[in-house]
Amino acid sequence: MSKTGHETLESKAHRMIKEKIRCGEYQVGQRLIEADVSRELELSRTPVRKAFAMLTVDGYLEFEDYKGVIVKNCAITKERYIEMLDVMELFLMATIDKIEAKSLNFSNQHLFDMVTKFLSIENPTDRECMEYQRWFVNEILGYAKNEYYLQVVNQFYDDLLEFGEPDVFQSAMKLFDKTLDNYIACGRYIEIYKFDEARAVIKQIINDRILFIFR
C-alpha cells in the first residue's frame, strides 16, 4: 500500500477532501469528479476513489444516479436534532415498557457510580460530556435487548459529535448537569417500579432540549 510518511495515500485523500467539505470549499450538492479532485490534490485517481468510498460510509458524500458522487448535507440542524430526539424518546419508552411488562430486575447503582466517576473529572471536555450522555442512554436501552435501538442511538451520537451545528451541540451541552440528574431519577423510578414517573422523566429530558434549542 502506497504511503506518504506514516499516512497512506487514501488516508491523505480522505483527510484533505473531508477538510474541504467541512470548511465549505466543497459545498452541499456539489458533484465531485474523480479526475478533477485527483488533479487538485496532486494524487492519483485510485486513492481518491477509495477516499470517496470511505467518505460515503462516513456520511460526507453520497452517490446519485446519473450524477455520481455528491457532497451530502450532513449537518445536524435543529430540525434534524429534534427528529433524532423523538426517535430516542420512542426507544427509551419502549424499553421502559419492556422492563415493566417482563418485571426485569433493574439496578440504578451502576448509573449512580458513573455519575460519581464523571463528577470527579476536572473540566470535562464537550466530547467527554457527550460520551457520558451516550453511555447513560445505552445503559437503559441495553435492557431492551434490541441491537437496532443501540445501533440507531449510537449513530445519532456519532453524527451529533461529527456534524452537529454549533447551536445544536451547545444545547446538548448546556443541559448536561440537569440531564445527568434526570437519568439518575429515571433509573431510580424504574428500580422501585414507578414506571409512569420514569416515563415522565424521559419526556422531561426530551422536552427540555427541544425548548432550549428554540429559546
Q: What is the full per-residue pLDDT of the chain (215 aa) written as tens digits? A: 444 457 899 999 999 999 999 888 999 999 999 999 999 999 999 999 999 999 998 889 998 887 889 998 888 888 888 999 999 999 999 999 999 999 999 988 888 888 888 878 888 777 888 888 899 899 999 999 999 999 999 989 988 888 888 777 777 677 877 888 898 899 999 999 999 999 999 999 999 988 888 77
CATH 1.10.10.10 segments of the chain: 3-71
Helical segments of 23-125, H only: 34-41, 45-58, 78-102, 109-119
Length of the chain: 215
C-alpha separations of 98 from 84, 87, 89, 106, 174 in Å = 21, 17, 14, 12, 31
Dist. CA 138–CA 130, nearest whole Å = 12
Q: What is the pTM assigned to this prediction?
A: 0.76
Q: Which class is domain 3-71?
A: mainly alpha
CATH 1.20.120 segments of the chain: 78-213
Architecture of domain 78-213: Up-down Bundle (1.20)
